[in-house]
Structure 1
Amino acid sequence: MGNLLTDRQFWVNYWESKTGLSVSIPEDYLFHKELADIINGQKVKTAIELGGFPGYYAVFLKKYFKLDVTLLDYFVHPPVTNSLLQANQLNEADIHIIETDLFNYVPEQQYDLVLSCGLIEHFNDTADIINRHINFVKPGGTLFITLPNFKALNGWFQKNFDKENYDKHNIDCMDPRLLENICKQAGLEVVKAKYFGHFSLWLENQQQKPAGIRLLKKSLWLAGKIFTKVFPFNSKQLSPYIILEARKP
C-alpha cells in the first residue's frame, strides 16, 4: 500500500465533512467542451469514471450524453450518490456502481471512454495508476485524465495555508510531459497533455479557515481573475488544472 498517499479513512472523513453534495450538474460543467468533443468525435457509447465518488462526471455523462455509464471507487456511500441522481432527474438504475479497490480489480469489460478527475495525484507511482486506467480502455477508446496543478500559484496557496491537504498530493506527477511520456510508453497516441484554465484558487473546507486566510484567498482570487480576463492564457504558473487525452490504438 506504499503507493497510496491517502487511505479509506481519509476519504470517509473527507466526504463526511462535505455538505451540499447533491447538486444539479450544469450543462457547462468543468471540462464539458473537451468531453463533448471526445464523445461526439469518437462516437462514445460507454464510459467509466474511476475514483469519482459521488459521481459528478458519471451523472454529467448520463444526463447530457445518455451514455452507458459506470462509476468505480473504493468508497461509495449509496445515500449520497442516490441523492445526487435524484437532484439530476436520474434514478439508481441509470449508473452502474462498482465499489472496489482499483489495485485488486481486474476489469470485466472495457469502455469507449475512461476518465478520472482528481485521482492520479493521490498515488506515488504515476505510471502504475495510469496503466490501471489504460486497462479499462477499449481498442480505439479514449483516456481522459484531469488533475490539479499544484505547481501553480494555487499550489503555493495550498502548501502555505492547507499543508495537510497539500501533502496528500503527489506534486511530481503534475507535469504534462511526464503524463504524455507514460502514455506513449504504454503505446497510446497522445491527443493533448497541457495546462488548463486561466486561473483559480481553492481551499478545502474553506469556512473552517481563519478569516484572514479567507480574505487573502478572496483577494488573490479576484486579482488573478481580473488579470487572466485581460490576458487569457494557460500556463504552468497560473492554470489550476492539467488535462491528458490519449487514444488506444
Structure 2
Amino acid sequence: MANLLTDRAFWVNYWERKKGLAVQLPSNYLFHRQLADVIEKHNVKTAIELGGFPGYYAVFLKKYFKLDVTLLDYFVHPPVVNELLQKNDLSAKDIHIIETDLFNYEPEQQYDLVLSCGLIEHFNDTADIINRHIAFVKPGGTLFITLPNFKAVNGWFQKNFDKENYDKHNIDSMNPELLKSICETAGLKDVKAGYFGRFSVWLEDESQKSAGVRLFKKMVWVSGKIFTKLIPFESQGLSPYIILQARK
C-alpha cells in the first residue's frame, strides 16, 4: 500500500516496546478544551477515535464526557486496552473496538465526532486519509484531527536524533492551509486549521538516547518553555502540534 508510510509490523514493534501504557488520564488531557467546546456546542453523543490504540482519547471521552465511544485501529491488543480502562475506572463494556484496516472497511455507522491524533501524517496521500475520516462523520457532525508539527524545532530534533521515526512521517501534510483546503474541497464547513501549543520537543524512546542528546534536548526544552512563557505565541517554527476542525 504505497499510501502508507508504516506497516503492521512497525506498529506491533512500536507498541510492544512501550512500557507503562495504562495511565490515569487527567481531566486536562491534551486538547481537552478544544474537545469540550465541540462536545458542548454541538451536543455530541457518539464518537470514534481512528488509529488510536490503546485508545487514550476514546477512554478520555468516555470517562469525562460519558460519550458512546468506539476505537478503530488495525492493531489492537485487548489486554492493554482493558488495563487502560481499569486504570480509569471503566470496563471493557464501556468502549466499542473495531480492529480492521481502514482502507478495507466501510463504516457501518456515522458519528457525531470523528477524531484522530497523530494518524494522518503516516500516509502519503493526505487528502485520501482525511476523506476516509469524513466518511465516518454524520451530517452535522464534527471532524477533529491533530498531528505533530515537524516543521518546528521538534521536527529538527526528530530528523537529527531519530531519523528512522522522522521518515515515517509525511512532512508535507503538516500544513494548515493544505489541510483546510482538503476539507473545503470535500464540502465541509466551518473549517479551521492552525498551530497549537507554544513550544515542546520530544524524542521517541528517549531513555535509549545518549546522555549528551538527552541533556541537549532538556536544555532546548527549558529554554523554549521560558521564551514562549515570556512571549506567548503559536507559530510554525515553535508550536508542536496542528489542529484541524470542520463540520459536515
TM-score (norm 2): 1.00
Equivalent residues of 1:6, 1:168 under 8 A apart? yes
Letter in 2 for 1:140: G
Q: Is the 8 A contact 1:183 1:190 kept in 2?
A: no
- C-alpha separation between the residues in 1 aligned to 2:80 and 2:190? 35
Contact 1:73/1:99 (<8 A) preserved: yes
Give 1:193 shift. 0.3
In structure 1, the residue matched to 2:148 is 148
1:168 aligned counterpart, secondary structure:
coil
Question: Corresponding residue for 1:94?
Answer: 94
1:80-129 CA deviation, whole Å, 9 max, x = no partner? 00000000000000000000000000000000000000000000000000
Does 1:199 find its partner at 2:199? yes
Identify the residue that residue 79 of structure 1 maps to in structure 2: 79
Which amino acid is the alignment partner of residue 139 of structure 2?
Answer: P
C-alpha distance in 2 between matches for 1:231 and 1:114: 34
The question of whether the paired residues in 1 share the 8 Å contact of 2:183 and 2:191 is answered with no
* Percent identity between the two aligned chains: 78
**1-side partners of 2:105 and 2:82: how far apart?**
24
Give the distance between the partners of 1:172 and 1:96, measured in 2 at CA: 33
Structure 2 gaps, min length 5? none
How far does residue 190 in structure 1 lie from its aligned partner after superposition?
Answer: 3.5
- Could you list the per-position Cα deviations for residues 56-98 of structure 1 after superposition, in whole angstroms to 9, with x for gaps in the alignment? 0000000000000000000000000000000000000000000
Q: Structure 1: which 5+ runs fail to align?
A: none
Distance 2:205 2:86 in 1: 25
For residues 190-229 of structure 1, the aligned pairs below 5 Å read 190-229=190-229
- CA shift, 1:244, in A, is 0.2
Counterpart of 2:16, as a letter, is E
Which residue identity is paired with 1:153?
V
The answer as to whether partners of 2:180 and 2:191 remain within 8 angstroms in 1 is no
Aligned to 1:236: 236
RMSD: 0.4
Determine if the alignment matches structure 1 residue 186 to structure 2 residue 186. Answer: yes
Which AA in structure 1 matches 2:78?
Answer: P
Cross-structure match for 2:43: 43
The match for 2:168 is 168
- Partner SS for 2:59: helix
Alpha-carbon shift at residue 192 of structure 1 (Å) = 1.5
CA apart distance, 1:191:
3.5
Q: Which runs of 4+ in 1 moved over 2 A?
A: none
2:50–2:116 CA contact under 8 A, matched in 1: yes
> Which position in structure 1 is the counterpart of 2:9?
9
Give the TM-score normalised by structure 1: 0.99
SS in 1 for 2:195: strand
Within 1, Cα distance between the matches of 2:113 and 2:191?
14
The answer as to whether partners of 2:110 and 2:135 remain within 8 angstroms in 1 is yes
1:232 Cα deviation (Å)?
A: 0.9
Matched residue, 1:122: 122
- In structure 1, the residue matched to 2:131 is 131
- Contact 1:188–1:246 (Cα < 8 Å) also in 2: yes
Deviation, 1:19, is 0.4
